[in-house]
Amino acid sequence: MSHDCSTPVIAEGVYPFDARGVAKRFRHAAIFGALDALHVGETMRFCNDHDPLPLLAQIDHYFGPRIQIAYVSRQPGEIVIDFLVAK
């Protein structure tokens, strides 16, 4: 099953963010900005070519339980993570 991030809206309230197209020096700022823009119940579907473990730690530290993190795909070269904004 492919987890393509190019679809504008995957499902209602699920928005793709393909980090592979963002310059590395802007990537974390763009991700944090996108997460800040989400409302409760919305999800950002994050795609990347590597497992961003340091980024996940930063998100957990900054947002705490407000952002729930769930892997959709953890294949080499195809990392897809859903970030859900909880209450």
Answer yes or no: is 42 within a domain: yes
* The pair of three-digit structure tokens given for residue 17, joined into one six-digit string: 């963010």
Mean pLDDT of 8-20: 81
Structural domain boundaries enclosing 76:
14-85
Answer yes or no: is 35 within a domain: yes
Encode pLDDT of 45-73 as tens digits.
999 999 999 999 999 999 999 999 999 99
Higher pLDDT, 75 or 10: 75
Answer yes or no: is 9 within a domain: no
> pTM for this structure?
0.85
Q: Rounded to a whole number, what is the distance in angstroms from the first to the last CA of the chain?
A: 30
Helices and strands, counts by H and E, the chain:
2, 4
Answer yes or no: is 28 within a domain: yes
Spatial separation of the C-alpha atoms in residues 51 and 49, rounded to whole Å? 7
CATH code assigned at 46: 3.30.110
What's the pLDDT at 10? 61
Encode pLDDT of 30-48 as tens digits.
999 999 999 999 999 999 9
